Structure 1
Amino acid sequence: MEVLERLLNVTLVVATLRTTAPILLVALGGSFTTKAGIFNIGLEGQMLVGAFFAVIGTIASGSPWIGVLCGILAALTLALIFALMVVTFKANEVVVGLALNILAGGLTISLMKAIFGTRGSIFGHGLVGLPALKLPNVKDLGWFGQMISGYTPLVYLAFILVPVLILFYNRSRLGLYIRVVGEKPEAAEALGISIVRIRYVSSLLCGLLAGLAGAHLSLGYTTMFTENMSSGRGFMAVAILIFSNGDPLKILFGCLLFGFSDALSLRLQTLGISSYLVLAVPYLVALIALFALSYRSRPRVIQETLASMGRALSVKSNTIQPTAATDASKP
């Protein structure tokens, strides 16, 4: 009981919300490209350059908000390159996404060594993190007040964007255009909607939120930059997008699952459990969840396959019967 009390408390909930925010931002960004019919595996690279250039901008200017802007611009640049290659030149989106991820990893390491003469991590140098917002009159709310106060603005923005994007996709003209382009591109062309323009806009909106996610990692979640700081969060966002089909509410639940397992792994370190096992916890939970989702969908797929086989056999028997009757009538 004492171990459970140390693990399952308000602090764990707070840590879950903190760790959920960056993957939620990048996954919501990926919903734009998913809804527009683009499989964007380059989220990891966009997030990484956003984190790196947010730190560079903050050190150069002394303002974390200018750093956030620099991170957004860097991620938008990578998103524009992705859109140019995939939408305009019709390149394979998986190959382009992986290439940009590799480019982002090599670029950040090279620039870190060129600018700071070091590898591994960047901290100090006048680096300032994003401020934490203390909501007024929350002390009277007890544990609930602890849950909702003390986060950086980007954490609040991540969760606010969920209902905003639900309304955006269902009520706004641009949101409906994005859905039509992704689901029925022929219908979009018939309505005079520019598929190229909509997919460019979707890619840039994705880059915007991926840059915010990266900036939150280096200026809000921590106040430093380390090599490969995104640590697979972009790939985890891609996995969540596959099974949520870009639906913001499903994205939220998937990201909360990953955020909870990540926060739980951090708490397990205090119990003396092997760090290698602890670091694997978020990914093990994600794999189990993905397996459960695929297992649930398997019976439906089998039923559809059997039904189609039955229809095919029925059609085949109908075509064989007249031939057999004709053969029987021959002397």
Structure 2
Amino acid sequence: MEVLERLFNAALIVAMLRTTAPILLVALGGSFTTKAGIFNIGLEGQMLLGAFFAVIGTIVSGSPWIGVLCGVAAALVLAYIFALLVVTFRANEVVVGLALNILASGMTISLMKAIFGTRGSIFGHGLVGLPIIRLPFAKDLGWFGQIISGYTPLVYVAFLAVPVLIIFYKRSRLGLYIRVVGEKPEAAEALGISIARIRYTASLICGVLAGLAGAHLSLGYTTMFTENMSSGRGFMAVAILIFSNGDPLKLLAGCLLFGFSDALSLRMQTTLGVSSYIILAVPYLVALAALFALSYRSRPRLIQETLATMGRALSVKPNGASGS
């Protein structure tokens, strides 16, 4: 009982919200491209580049907010390249996304070596993290006050963005255009909506949020940059996007699941002394289990659809006439 109390308390929820924020930001960015009909597997690279240039911008300027802007700008460049290749030149989106992920990883390692003469991590050099917001009324709310106060601004941005995006997709003209382009591109063309312009817009908005996610990793979640510090969060966001289809509430649920398993695994390591190798695998095992459960639940529907399609095909004769 004592062990459970040490594991499951307000501190676990605080850790869960902190670990959820970066993956939620990048997943919400990915929802724009998903809704626009683009499978964006390049989220990992955009996030990583945002984290690196946020650190560079902060070291050069001395301001974490200028660092955040630099991180967003770097992710935007990568998002623009992705849109240019996929939308304009109609390249395979999976190949382009993987190539840009490899480019971002190699670029950050090379630039780290060229600028700082080292590999592994960047810290010190006057690096300043994002400020912590302490809500003045939180101390009067007990354990609930501990949960809602004491985060960097980007954590609040991540969670507040969920209801904003729900309203955006349902109420705004751009949100409607993005959904139409993704679901019915022929209808979008008939209405005179530029599919290319909408997909470029969605890709660039995605780049902004991926850059914020990266900046949060290097300036909020930690105050340093390490090689490949995104650690598969971009790929995890892609997995969540697949089963949520870009719906903000489902994204939030999936990201909270990952954040909870990540926070719980870290507390198990510090509280119970569980092996770090097992700990590192826990979030991904939980995510895989959730994806398997969701795919298993949808299997009867898929089988029904397949049988219906086969039935329609068998009911049509080679000459096109219906069978009796």
- TM superposition score normalised by structure 2: 0.96
Is the Cα contact below 8 Å between 2:315 and 2:323 reproduced in 1? no
CA RMSD of aligned residues (A): 1.3
Number of residue-to-residue matches in the alignment: 320
| TM-superposition CA deviations, 1:76-100 (whole Å, max 9, x none) | 0000000110111111100000000
User: Separation in 2 of the partners of 1:312 and 1:216?
Assistant: 52
1:275 matched residue in structure 2 = 276
Asked if 1:184 is matched to 2:181, the reply is no
Classify the secondary structure of the residue corresponding to 2:75. helix
**In the alignment, residue 279 of structure 1 is paired with which amino acid?**
L
Letter in 2 for 1:287: L
What is the match of residue 140 of structure 1?
140
Unaligned runs of 5+ in 1: 322-331
The alpha-carbon distance between structure 1 residues 314 and 80, as it changes in their structure 2 partners (threshold 3 A), is closer
Distance 1:275 1:195, change over 3 A: same
Question: Do 2:86 and 2:92's aligned partners in 1 also have CA atoms closer than 8 Å?
Answer: yes
Superposed, 1:13-52 pairs within 5 Å as 13-52=13-52
Tell me: CA distance 1:307–1:190, structure 2 relative to 1, closer, same or farther (3 Å). Answer: closer
Distance 1:145 1:312, change over 3 A: same
**Residue 203 of structure 1 pairs with residue 203 of structure 2:** yes
* Cross-structure match for 1:290: 291
Aligned residue for 2:39, secondary structure, equals coil
Aligned positions of 1:88-167 closer than 5 A: 88-167=88-167
Q: Distance in 2 between matches of 1:319 and 1:116?
A: 72
| Cα separation, partners in 2 of 1:302 and 1:107, compared to 1, 3 Å | same
The residue number in structure 2 matching 1:329 is none
State the alpha-carbon separation in 2 of the partners of residues 221 and 4 from structure 1.
Answer: 26
- Judging changes above 3 Å, is the alpha-carbon distance between structure 1 residues 319 and 169 closer, same or farther for their aligned structure 2 residues? closer
Deviations 1:286-305 (A, max 9, x none): 00000000000011112233
Larger radius of gyration: 1
Distance 1:46 1:59 in 2: 20
Counterpart in the other structure of 1:248: 248
Please give the secondary structure, in 2, of the residue aligned with 1:21. Answer: helix
Deviation, structure 1 residue 319: 6.6
Identical residues among aligned pairs (%) = 86
- CA separation in 2, counterparts of 1:310 and 1:173? 40
**1:168 match:** 168
The runs of at least 4 aligned residues of structure 1 exceeding 2 Å deviation read: 303-316, 318-321
Deviations 1:206-248 (A, max 9, x none): 0000000000000000000000000000000000001000000
Deviation at 1:25, TM superposition (A): 0.2
Cα distance between partner residues in 1 of 2:97 and 2:3: 43
Contact 2:72–2:207 (8 Å) recurs in 1: yes
> d(CA) in 2 for partners of 1:213 and 1:313?
50
Q: Which residue of 2 aligns with 1:57?
A: 57
Name stretches of at least 5 consecutive residues in structure 2 with no aligned partner: none
Give me the whole-angstrom Cα distance separating, in 2, the residues matched to 1:227 and 1:3: 34
